[in-house]
A and B are shown apart, each in its own frame.
Chain A
């Protein structure tokens, strides 16, 4: 990659570490939003939030090719929320029954550490179910239903548990940011989906600001809420700003595992940002897709095409908002998405960062 600044890699990783560490299940994004606003403010970038909880940075265009009378408007967005949990009920014995907020496979839940945010602060727990010693032969080959799981917070009974948690309190996976693999090439963390997208936008805004670059369009950077349930925050943002084009930064599940047939693998960790042609909620703008792939090739930035029709992202609500918007989605290829252990290849983060910068600064967006 010709543009990548080696020196910016450690700070990029640290930003991702910070963001992945913040409690922000879908519908409870305020801690993430406040932290992002603080980070931007430290770089002299003002942000504002809307009444639904989205955070925006508006960067007016200027210079050559900018039409102040009728500017092209581009929105780049990433969602702040993550999959998580909510307290559904507290047992007489003090165990927490929960629902999942967002799509979580029950198979990744048993035996995982979680943290809930109660009125008095964080409450740690573990997701438990019947110990193997008590299971019948049939139970030993069957996944546990969420209704048969409970969170053990160490409470003695209902009264005790109620001192810390109440029905409706949010939870998330309690999981560290770990670098692993050969030369620490991989990262495992919770909420890489989609704090990685947030980190890329923050870094892009800081880079544009430090270079004093004027773009020939008005740029709206959106950090959105509630993607994991209904993709709703981004749609509201699009209807507020009516962008001509929208670039969605996301994470996509990949299946680059040895036992998976090549045509089911979606994409590969380490292969660069994943460009969607279509998924379950959007057909992407063909010109933008071509432009992204061509820019990747021209500048030596790894980029790959999503090879399996699955999933969806905020583009699903953005592309059909108001009068309609042409969308491009660039996703980080993520293993074990929506679990305590999202895994990405660090290099993909840098590739996406470079590709986003190239698209904004080199692609010619027409009204």
Chain B
């Protein structure tokens, strides 16, 4: 898959609507984007999507690749006069980025047919700011979304509980950096799917299951990853999620460099032998890797997958990302390429297979 194709897949997957708890909304579109790569595709009771590519051998190993499919967003809590909506956040949403932003309200008509409505997040008119309140951030309960619909028309498509997401718009920055919504974590999903697509069946070291899990951002404890891993009982797992990228306001020790290659997190909860083998293999292959550490929590689905069932040796890899949880998350296509290549190694390398 060429870099431009990978970029297209990243923006297509990231542009889907898959707010935590609503991962089925664009499920058909997801299947049409990835279906050809895999032998099987199904959804699970937790709202995960499970794509399988078989190696063609009997009693093969089961390799689980997990990326979460859910994204942060909002949900309607009230419909107001003039066609405005009150909302609440789903997941860790920073209200500092909302005002004058663009959203999509994922409404439905009376027949249950999807009816997307464009919205603008209202900003506070300056004359209404009280002196001293200039730096006070509005609480999410005070945020209004302007739909341009009369309230009675709006009620036909929107109700309390209707999800609202960032409008998918993608910008090309310099050096192959791109900006847009929900690269967390669908950029990783795209890299994993591309890696699997590029690996011939006979080169797979086992059956590969790509798990696009629900409920990482919200929903009480990475339920999608936990239940999916429990049901799968894989021989090992690789979790690919985004890593906090270094910016002028962060500590070097707590972040990774965007453009610096794939992040591999070492932790008591990740499998050190597998992780070390993957790092060595990647470096041998000339793939840029940066190593970071975490103690009890990697902040990713690794937290629950390593514990699932009888225990699963897990490797945690990441795509460095800046402005996390905004509509303008920034990633490097070079890093995406590296991540794809690292995942290819993980599912095809004999040295990895020897460690399982």
Contact = CB atoms under 8 A, between A and B. Distances in A.
A341 B100 contact: yes
A164 B175 CA distance: 12
A54 to B, nearest CB: 27
A343 interface: yes
Interface residues of A, number: 67
B175 A336 contact: no
Chain B CB count within 10 A is highest, among A141, A178, A308, for A141
Contact of B328 (A103, A126, A182, A260): A126
Contacts of A178: 102, 118
A142 B135 contact: yes
Interface string A329-344: 0000001100111010
A113 B179 contact: yes
B134 A143 contact: yes
Interface SS, B side: loop
B322 A152 contact: yes
B43 interface: no
B113 interface: no
Contact of A108 (B100, B119, B153): B100
A110 B128 contact: no
B59 interface: no
A105 B124 CA distance: 9
A143 B146 CA distance: 21
A135 B325 CA distance: 13
Contacts of A239: none
Interface in B131-178: 134-139, 142, 144, 146-150, 153, 169, 171-177
A124 interface: yes
Interface stretch (A11-19, A43-51, A249-257): A249-257
Interface string B103-142: 0000000000000011111111111110000111111001
Interface residues of B, number: 67
Contacts of B254: 134
Nearest to B166: A111
B174 A181 contact: no
A150 B248 CA distance: 9
A287 interface: no
Given A259-B142, A335-B122, A341 B102 contact: yes
A132 B82 CA distance: 31
Chain B CB count within 10 A is highest, among A150, A253, A258, for A258
Nearest to B330: A152
Interface string A111-126: 1110000000001111
Contacts of B259: 156
B247 interface: yes
A67 interface: no
B98 to A, nearest CB: 8
Contacts of B144: 257-259
Given A266-B127, A335-B122, A343-B146, 6 more contacts: A125-B173, A128-B323, A178-B118, A188-B118, A254-B125, A341-B100
3 tightest Cβ-Cβ pairs between the two chains A and B: A181-B148, A154-B173, A154-B177
